[in-house]
Structure 1
Amino acid sequence: METTEVEFLTNQVQRLNSALRQYQAQELSKPAVDQTGHLEECHSPVPWLTDKSLMAPLIIEYDKNMEELNEQICYYQTKMNEMKLNLESVIRENERLHTELRENIEKHLQTLPGGAGIDDDPLVEDTMVSSLQEQLRLANREQLTRFQQLTQQLQLANENMTTTNQQFVKTVTEQNVELEVNHKELRRAKLDMRTATLKVVEMNQIMQNLQEEIQRKDEDVATALGREEASDKRLQKLQSAITKLEARLRVAVEDAEQLRKERFCFERQIGALQAKCAEMEEEKYDSVVKVRDSIQLLEEANLQKDQALLREKQKDEEIEKMKEAVFQLIQEAAARTRKEVENVRKQCNVQISHLAEDLSILQMDNADKEGRIARAIREKRAVEEELEKLYREGRCTEDHKKIDELHQRCLNAERAKDDLHMSLQGAQSKIRKFEINSEEESSRCQEMVQKLQSMLDSVRSDCDHVSEERLSLQHENEQLRKEMEELKKASMETQRKAKQQIATMEHECSLKGHGFQTQLSELEETSRNSSNELKRLLIAQQKAASRWRDEARKLTNAFEAKINNMKTEMNRQKHHLQEMVSQLENAHEQIIEYEKRLMENQEKTNRLQRRLTNSEHRAATASQKLSRITTQRRKDTSQADVCQRAMCT
């Protein structure tokens, strides 16, 4: 756009320069002709006017035609001056001949004798009178022929002067019209340049806003990716912890089942022992002391059982706390993902609205440019119709200048059409690029939304699955508690009944206590291993966070470098625009100077027209003087005839 406008302005300035050069040449040539009376060479033109690289070929041809016309005008003026000189010389010769004739006649009359001589020689007098009459007739004829030739030459010169004046007036009017058109085109070009500068500023602002939005998007995407990776890692950690807890729960369930089986066996053994106790009641009295000792041991065993039950309760509470923490983490992750999805949607909608506004602006520009193209096509058609009319009418060679001018206008219209077509194609390509970018961004946003929705659905399904497992585990724990209470009641009843057989089972209880201790030690080791694994995962997460920070710093440095490059380009474009504005101001100043010179040239042309009118008035007075002289000569000839007749008589 800027290059086409600059070329258009340069063409307009060149045309104005050519018009100025023509006016200067006319002003320099006319005063010289008026003063000296012959053609003088024009001064050397200004170098910026003679440079052919700055002027179009059609303007050069126009200049050549104008130079030829100026040369013809100068030639006709020289001829007019020569004719005036010839007329003056002829008038002088006529006056001289008239004086010589008078002198000869007077001398001849003085040399003639008196009345006697006249009466004696009538034949001599007749011959003398006839010879004088013939001489007078011949002289009058020569003077009349010369006078007629001179009048014809004067008429031709006057006709040539009128034609040249008409041509000069036509050329001046055409040049004035062209200058007015050029002024209008310059004003339009200035308005177009202002609108173009405003559009460039707006586009630069839009580009800056888009770059800022792109940077924000990149930052948001980076943060979203970091959050997604962190949430994925957390989910993986939670899933691993859940699997470990499930394994521990399975082990605990298996231990509970083994205890149930053992208790069932013990109940059977207790039934058998009760049968034996009925038989061995007599031996009980002997074993009272042993029973007391066994009661103490049972109390200690019960205390150990209570401690084991408390530990199991604590483990169940820890499991419930872990489940609640997992549920809270899942809910927080879901809320964060929802917020991120909503933010991304809002940003995408804002970008889509901005792109739609840009598309509407570009479509308006396209409509304006299409209107300009239509105008150029209409002008071209009108000019072609005028050319066809001119060719059909078949005018003279003078109309070829108008045809050349119309052809030049056609070429200018075609150039403007091509420029507008190129700019239209550029705008359409920009619109297509904007549409493709908007579609790509919308597709990317939709893919991101779909991914986030799938992640939300997966997280929700995981949460539902975890909640279901939690409910099932709670039901199992309640059932186990009920069974434990029932077992406690049964154990109290069995303690009352099985005081005698506890001594035999002390060894077995001690073995079971050792087994429980080993299981507790194993559980402690597993808890330590899990804590170590958690620490290792935390260290890995910290390393990943540091790595992401380094990458983020690198990306920020790269984006800052890009921003600096864009700023330098913007500064360069601003400097270029300032240069263009300064050039436009200089062109405007030159145009003002040219207008002043044109006003001066018009004043000079008015002066020259006044001089022409004065010269025509002088020519009219000279013709009147010639008519007077001819009348006087006729009177003289008539007087001479009268004298001759008198002499003859």
Structure 2
Amino acid sequence: MEPKNVRFLMDQVQRLNNELFWYQSQDHFNKDPHIPVMTWLTEESLISPLLVEYDRKIQQKDEQIQSISAEFSQLKEELSKVIQENDDLREKLCNLKELEVDSLPNILIETDADLKAVENMKKQLVLVSKEKEKVMEMYQESMKQVKHLTTELQNAKSSQRWDLIEQQTSQVKNEYLNSMQNIVAEIEPLQNKLKEKESELMQLKIENNTLQSFTEELQRKCKWKEQELVELRKKESSFSVENDEMKIQVASLKHEVKTKNQENEQIHLKNSELEKWVLIQQEKSSKLEENLHEILEDKKNAQQIVENAVLEKDLVKELCQQKQDEVNHLQEMVEELMKEAGMATRKEVDEVKLQYNNRISKLNEKVHYLELECSEKDATLERSLRDKKSAEMELENVRKDCLSETKKCNEIKEQLGQRLTSAQQSRDTAMRNLEKLRHQLERDEKNNKQKSELLNAQIDQLKDQVSCLNDQNSQLSDSKLQLIQEVNDLKAKVLKTNNERDEIQRTMNKKISLMKEEINTHTQDYEVKLQNCEDVNQGVLVEMKKLLNTQQLVSARWKEEFTTISNKSEEKQAQLRSELSRYKSRNSELKGLLRESQMKMSETSQLMKEYCAKIQRMECQLKAAQQNTMEVNRKLSYLQMKHRDLSNENRLLREETHLNGSNNATRNQSLDSPCIIDQSSNQHNEEEEEDGLFSER
């Protein structure tokens, strides 16, 4: 350190000598004799302003060194206090962590990140302690150097070199006194400029201090921003975990809603199937009732048809008897006419005997033909009678069958009535049950709708929360980007300010010693590190407390939510199981009713088939009887036509006999009048009977 200081002093002496020679070479003393000379140039007792300024600077530096040493001692005391406080806080933290570890082992085991943070903090504390030791060593070394420099200065002052330097300085003072009288006029504006520069330097110092404070604030803000960024990242990670959990919950809730909707749809399908089955059963019961009414109507129609057939049979018998009576009457009339004609007109008939014989032969042929026809008619009548008897037998059998069937039908009707009553009762019960089921279904639908609405509301809330979280994430990302931009801007500003500060410090450091720079840098670094350590410790403590509180609250909330969700799910499962058991019992009952109704339907279908077969037989028999009656009617109409032809021929014969038998007119008239009356009456009766038959047909 000695040669450096000596060189520094020698350089200053040479610089001063050069300035003196420069001033002396200009000869300012002889230029303006009227200019007053400064007192310090003429008087040796006064020192030059440069030396005064030099002494003043040295005194200022000594005062600064004393103030720095006092501040350094204060910093030592404050450091000792801070170290004690840090030790106390560390002990408290260790105790708190041990208690929290004992109370919440699971949570602390799970928080590996917190353990890593604690380990990092421990490492940082170790590094800070090492740096503190290094700073103390540097401080001790600097103090040793200061002491050594002071001893060297004292030795230099007591040495011969210092005497030589003093002699040289005295010579320089004398020369300087002689040369500075002309320099005063030039130094005064320079002094003014120096004052201005000093004021500017003071302003620059103030600005430097403000910039330093601003940079410190910016650094603090940057640190806080970095801490906020770390917190935001942690929050983002926690929000991402919560988002994932909420998404899982939303997916589970959606799955539950889908299952509930599917169950509701299945229940609706079952209800619709049951309603369809009930409607089908009602339609079948209505069809059975209609079939029963149709069977009863067919039975009544069959009875009416049988009665009409019996009446027609009686009418046919009466008509046959009438025809036989007419034929007998005609035969009697012919015999009487023959006898009367033979007795009354034997004489007169001889002439016309041949004609009458021919006509009689013709009439006999016709009568024979009529007899043959009558025999055929008799045969047909016998056949018809046989058919009638067989039809009567069949009708009697049918009547008996009908009676038995009516009895059976009545019994079946009673049974069906009982079954219908039971079916109606069961239908009423089924309708009641259906109404109950409908009410229950409506209630279930309302409950399901309410539940679905609640679930939809919860899902909407969750979606809103998710959207809010997404918005928060987006806002956080935007804020993070903004903070990053601000940090970058602040870093740029800090760099600019640092550059400006470096420039200012360079200009200032030329006038300040190296020791002050080192001490200031060490003290500033140490203060910054202490502040960083304190800030980090406080931030870590606050974060740890916040994390513990949040974890405790979140765990309590999750436990409560899990208990409520588990209770709700168990209640829902119990309700669904009870509903399933009810539906199963109801399905079994309905299946039994279906089987019974199917058995009843099969029995009724068999009965209907039997009734249809019997009705078809009856219809076939009725068709055969109708065909027989049609044939009989045709034959009767043919016989009536023949009878009319015979009546017309009889009239012609009577007219001829009336014309030929003029002698026996009175007797013939007496005989013919009743015959004509009888014939007219018979004809009139025949016409009335034919009209009656036609009207009946």
Specify if TM > 0.5.
Answer: no
Q: TM-score, normalised by structure 1?
A: 0.34
**Which has the greater radius of gyration?**
2
Structure with larger RCO (C-alpha < 8 A, sep 6+): 2
